[in-house]
Chain A
Amino acid sequence: MSKEYLLLDKIEGPLIFLSRAEDVSYGEVIDITLDDGNKRRGRVIKIDKDAIVAQIFEGSSGFSVVNSSVRFSGKPFELPMSKEILGRTFNGIGEPIDQGGNIFSKDVYNVNGRPINPVARKYPRNYIQTGISSIDGLATLIRGQKLPIFSGNGLPHNEIAAQIVKQANISEKEGEEFAVVFAAIGVKHDDADYFRKTFEESGVLERVVMYINLANDSIVERVMTPRCALTAAEYLAFEKNMHILVIMTDITSYCEALREISSAREEVPSRKGYPGYLYSDLASIYERAGMMKHKGGSITFLPILTMPNDDITHPVPDLTGYITEGQIVLSRELFQQNIYPPISILPSLSRLMKDGIGEGFTREDHPDVANQIFASYSKVQDIRALAQIIGEDDLSELDNLYIKFGRLFEEKFIRQDFDDNRSISETLDLAWDMLSQLPKEELERIDPEMLGKYYQGKSGK
């Protein structure tokens, strides 16, 4: 029979402070019963002699310093896992919120996970065809990669994620099982509903595990949401050998929740008020993606974040970019030109792409083509800047060809319908169509042999 503590010292935001607690361990879960019978849960986040600080998952409203009884469970925050979670919907701390009842299993997992030993990792090398040209061609998604979408408010990041869920070949071979783990972190009802509808339409709903923390739910729960989702993903991938696609939106809300708790704890802030440990904290989430030796499954991780004020140097996208293996950046400019998907290819990058494309993976010409498009399209930007000043009429002949290439590239290659599913060879052929607008001599990044084989334009001179 564990002790009950009936008196709190202080309540601040989602945190409670109490003293004279005995035998409390760091990180353990506490159960609180309010005088009206309402039950809450929380977690110990600091121990100082016999005084403890705990955060309450559901928030502290309704608490007074005398109306609650606190009981220490002696256990860290754990979730039971079984394959029954497929098709189910949970709240941010892993409690079922559909009508399916509780998950019963003797396999319980600490939601914080443990760091994967780098020697146990398997380097991801197999590409996932998403059917979206600008991703497959230029920022190829690799199975086991963590590739975030850097978006802005109002940009169609949800649609892109939905299109990937719909079109991507998540499982490696026929017969291998796949599943989608979806975590909504502080998003609007509409966004959560949109995803639910998409999963339903693409017929994967019974293979989706959802963890939902809406914008008006508690922020402490919000901090636990990605951890619960990744615990489920790790269980399915590494215990059940399934290929998992994790979609998480919106990481910015997560970081804001972390900041809110940090400021309630009166910690020393670093950039823009975010806590100094934001990098380590984000890493403890992102690094849970990957593949492991001797385990069949994989976790491919597609987090979505909205850049405040479209600023890529804001701490959230900045620190994310330092941890993840590349990023897909959306552009407001393309969006305003009515181009879907508005993927800004120059800052977009897939770090694992170099080992997962080319001969034996996609097609022999893929690396050179991607390289050339980056180089040529970046030149288009310079020429456009020039044309703004001197006018398009005064551009040289070659510059005009570049302008034309740029326009066609955006209209034909980047632009793609929501239900247009292009194969990798379609994507690469399309890229050659675009590059063939330019004289052969301009294509310096491409091996002459490939040029001979694929180039369809005419030589400059």
Chain B
Amino acid sequence: MIELKGIITMVNGPVLKATSMTGFKMREMVMVGGKKLIGEVIALEGDRGTIQVYEETEGLKSGESVISTGKPLSLKLGPGLIGNIFDGIERPLLEINSVSEGFIPEGIGLLSIDTEKKWKVCITVKENDVLREGQCFATVEETSLILHKVLVPQGMSGKVIEKKEDGFYNIEETLLVIEDDEGKMYPLRLSHEWPVRTPRPVKERLPISSLLVTGQRVLDIFFPVAKGGTAAIPGGFGTGKTMTQHQLAKWSDADIIVYIGCGERGNEMTEVLEDFPKLIDPKTGKSIMERTILIANTSNMPVAAREASIYTGITIAEYYRDMGYNVAIMADSTSRWAEALREISGRLEEMPAEEGYPAYLPSRLAEFYERAGYIKTLNDQEASITIIGAVSPAGGDFSEPVTENTKRYVNAFLGLDKKLAYARHYPAINWLNSYSGYVKMLGNWYEKNVNEDVLELRAKMIRILHEENKLQEIVQLVGEDVLPDDQRLILEISRVLRIGFLQQNAFHKDDTFVPLIKQYKMLKCIELLYDKAHLTIKKGVPISKVKNEMLFGEVTKMKYTVSNDDLSEIDKISEKIVQYYDDLIKEYG
């Protein structure tokens, strides 16, 4: 390959312009200036080109060179990703820290996953086997949880003509050589490269059919997110977006979690790095760090790399999906990514659309969320990518462009509410304006895995909460005392629902993750309380008697008092409820 060389003519923050760029390709990765900063070509016109730079540009001079690499911004994919933390262009932060302790310097070049480490490789094919693209030819135990399946890269296929023995190899060593029908030979390694902006191919998309179990009651029962689905969590600052994302990353039953800290706080990433290794996944009994990949572009890191970080995250997710895993992505926050687009667009002096955002914002958002899905891999395995994106609307106003456009492309919308957050009701998901389009699709799943009346129960409880909302408006005007008893019961039951069910304590050992069956039983118990109390009121018993402090308190507190492994306590509470109201009716009968 001939190395092409452009000359810098303009520097404006992370955006450069250069001449003599004939021959450079769009989206090609380039090295800029004497420090060899990493950049990407984002516009070409005649022999002039525009480049966004992923590192601090201070000190660059007009007249310095721009050197081509001949390939688009790509990631090296192979074992060594899990449990690691990378910057927006997949450079390992731990390694950067060993090069330059403390602060992130410029011009460290393009580092990637560890090329030295020897992995124990088990080759699963024989000589003369015919391999097609996407087929697994070797396995590596990447962590105790994840078996890394090494796949034949796209565009390669053929007969195995050379094979190494099982043993220890690094990611660059050739393991197999295959020869296709035309006699072309391909060496296969543990790793290969993939351009970040290109979605990886799949065989077909499958309909959505199973729940991403998160252990969070308000999600799993009220606003479920499906495996392969998309969800947005919008909320002003302080409403708990990051907390919710952390909870999902910790407890959801995906095989692999990719957590993208996009333009957020440095300490939040540090917190993940400190906490996650200590947390044990309830399903596997292993540390959850063994299934987590972190991408960090904190708010003070270069803005162009923020734009790339989202693509880096999703490409890594697709890589593991292709091995047949269910992957979930937490992107915190997509608004910072949109703002990075806006900032670069502004520097390019493009015509702005709404609030200064570029006109291509909706299409970029769509491209991102559409990479989620429940699919069949090239190797005929079912796998999925679920995307859960946090949105940080300016001023907490959900009508701003990023929230509005995100709403168009996601199926579940979990709106966080300032007022709930002020009262420290977490997760502060507002049950009145949130929605999930997956409820119906998951009907069968609930029926098979929990109980057939889950959706009915959910609908009933939501009805009560909506009714409460209407009643609260009246209460705000005239007070609670004037309401008839059956309406006051609605208020009381809603209180139990809100505090005892919807609110969930992330710091409590049992409450932080609740098995689905306990969630269901808790809700059934609340329903029983309502039905029985309602019946008793209809018989003319006054609310003051019907609302038994002890009983209501016990139901509200069962999230803490009933342990996750022994649900018989809930049955006991249910018995008490039946007993109490039967007695009451007799007394008044």
Q: Which residues of A come within 8 Å of B, CB atoms?
A: 23-28, 46-50, 76, 110, 112-124, 238, 267-271, 275-277, 279-280, 283-284, 286-288, 290, 292, 294-295, 313-315, 318-319, 321-323, 325-327, 346-347, 349, 351-352, 354-355, 367, 371, 374-375, 378-379, 382, 385-386, 389-390, 394-396, 399, 441, 444-445, 460-461
Most chain A beta carbons < 10 A, residue from B104, B266, B336, B419: B266
- B104: shortest Cβ distance to chain A, in Å? 5
**How many B residues face the partner with a CB closer than 8 A?**
77
Nearest 7 A-B pairs (CB), nearest first?
A313-B395, A283-B299, A270-B356, A321-B237, A27-B58, A287-B300, A378-B423
Q: Is the CB of B422 within 8 A of A346?
A: yes
Most chain B beta carbons < 10 A, residue from A28, A277, A347: A277
Which of the residues A116, A346, A394, A396 comes within 8 Å of B102, measured between beta carbons? A116
A23 to B34, CA, bound (A): 13
A46 to B58, CA, bound (A): 10
Tell me whether A118 and B85 are in contact in the complex, defined as CB-CB below 8 angstroms, given that A280-B343, A323-B299 are known contacts.
yes
Q: Is the CB of A386 within 8 A of B102?
A: no
Instruction: Confirm or deny: B182 has a beta carbon within 8 angstroms of a beta carbon on chain A.
Output: no
Q: Is the CB of B267 within 8 A of A352?
A: yes
Within residues 230 to 279 of chain B, which ones have a CB less than 8 A from any CB in chain A?
236-238, 261, 263, 265-267, 269-271, 273-274
Q: Is the CB of B102 within 8 A of A47?
A: no
Instruction: Confirm or deny: B456 has a beta carbon within 8 angstroms of a beta carbon on chain A.
Output: no
Tell me whether A287 and B102 are in contact in the complex, defined as CB-CB below 8 angstroms, given that A24-B61, A315-B394, A390-B479 are known contacts.
no
> Can you report 15 A-B residue pairs in the complex whose CB atoms are below 8 A from each other?
A26-B59, A49-B9, A49-B62, A112-B58, A115-B301, A120-B97, A279-B263, A294-B101, A295-B102, A318-B396, A322-B392, A374-B423, A386-B479, A396-B481, A444-B553
Q: Is the CB of B300 within 8 A of A119?
A: no
Closest to A327 in B: B238
> In the assembled complex, which residues on chain A have CB atoms less than 8 Å from the CB atom of B181?
none
Instruction: Confirm or deny: B147 has a beta carbon within 8 angstroms of a beta carbon on chain A.
Output: no
Main SS of the interface on chain A? mixed
Instruction: Confirm or deny: B568 has a beta carbon within 8 angstroms of a beta carbon on chain A.
Output: no
Extra 4 A-B pairs, beta carbons < 8 Å, given A49-B9, A120-B103, A271-B394: A46-B10, A287-B266, A295-B102, A394-B479
Instruction: Confirm or deny: B127 has a beta carbon within 8 angstroms of a beta carbon on chain A.
Output: no
> In the assembled complex, which residues on chain A have CB atoms less than 8 Å from the CB atom of B271?
123, 355
Which of the residues B346, B352, B395, B479 comes within 8 Å of A277, measured between beta carbons? B346
> In the assembled complex, which residues on chain B have CB atoms less than 8 Å from the CB atom of A379?
423
How many A-B residue pairs have C-beta atoms within 8 angstroms? Tell me: 222
Q: Is the CB of A120 within 8 A of B101?
A: yes
> In the assembled complex, which residues on chain A have CB atoms less than 8 Å from the CB atom of B477?
389-390
> In the assembled complex, which residues on chain B have CB atoms less than 8 Å from the CB atom of A319?
394
Instruction: Confirm or deny: B556 has a beta carbon within 8 angstroms of a beta carbon on chain A.
Output: yes
- A403: shortest Cβ distance to chain B, in Å? 13
Which of the residues A26, A352, A371, A389 comes within 8 Å of B11, measured between beta carbons? A26
A174 to B61, CA, bound (A): 49
- B589: shortest Cβ distance to chain A, in Å? 25
- B389: shortest Cβ distance to chain A, in Å? 15
Most chain B beta carbons < 10 A, residue from A268, A271, A314: A268
Q: Is the CB of A47 within 8 A of B263?
A: no
- A239: shortest Cβ distance to chain B, in Å? 11
Instruction: Confirm or deny: B571 has a beta carbon within 8 angstroms of a beta carbon on chain A.
Output: no
Within residues 52 to 79 of chain B, which ones have a CB less than 8 A from any CB in chain A?
56-63
- A131: shortest Cβ distance to chain B, in Å? 24
Tell me whether A115 and B300 are in contact in the complex, defined as CB-CB below 8 angstroms, given that A46-B11, A47-B62, A318-B395 are known contacts.
yes
Q: Is the CB of B265 within 8 A of A323?
A: yes
A-facing mask of B268-306, CB < 8 A → 1, else 0? 011101100000000000000000000010111101000
A-facing mask of B203-224, CB < 8 A → 1, else 0? 0000000000000000000000
Instruction: Confirm or deny: B13 has a beta carbon within 8 angstroms of a beta carbon on chain A.
Output: yes
Q: Is the CB of A117 within 8 A of B553?
A: no
Tell me whether A117 and B299 are in contact in the complex, defined as CB-CB below 8 angstroms, given that A283-B263, A390-B479 are known contacts.
no
Instruction: Confirm or deny: B583 has a beta carbon within 8 angstroms of a beta carbon on chain A.
Output: no
Instruction: Confirm or deny: B475 has a beta carbon within 8 angstroms of a beta carbon on chain A.
Output: yes
> In the assembled complex, which residues on chain A have CB atoms less than 8 Å from the CB atom of B425?
375
Instruction: Confirm or deny: B198 has a beta carbon within 8 angstroms of a beta carbon on chain A.
Output: no
Tell me whether A395 and B479 are in contact in the complex, defined as CB-CB below 8 angstroms, given that A28-B59, A119-B85 are known contacts.
yes
Tell me whether A124 and B104 are in contact in the complex, defined as CB-CB below 8 angstroms, given that A49-B10, A270-B355, A283-B299 are known contacts.
no
Instruction: Confirm or deny: B141 has a beta carbon within 8 angstroms of a beta carbon on chain A.
Output: no
Q: Is the CB of B342 within 8 A of A121?
A: no
A341 to B187, CA, bound (A): 71
Q: Is the CB of A119 within 8 A of B93?
A: yes
Closest to B92 in A: A119
Q: Is the CB of A26 within 8 A of B479?
A: no
Q: Is the CB of A238 within 8 A of B265?
A: no
A379 to B103, CA, bound (A): 46
Which of the residues A117, A286, A313, A327 comes within 8 Å of B104, measured between beta carbons? A117
> In the assembled complex, which residues on chain B have CB atoms less than 8 Å from the CB atom of A395?
479
Q: Is the CB of B273 within 8 A of A118?
A: yes
> In the assembled complex, which residues on chain B have CB atoms less than 8 Å from the CB atom of A280?
263, 299-300, 303, 339-340, 343
A286 to B265, CA, bound (A): 9
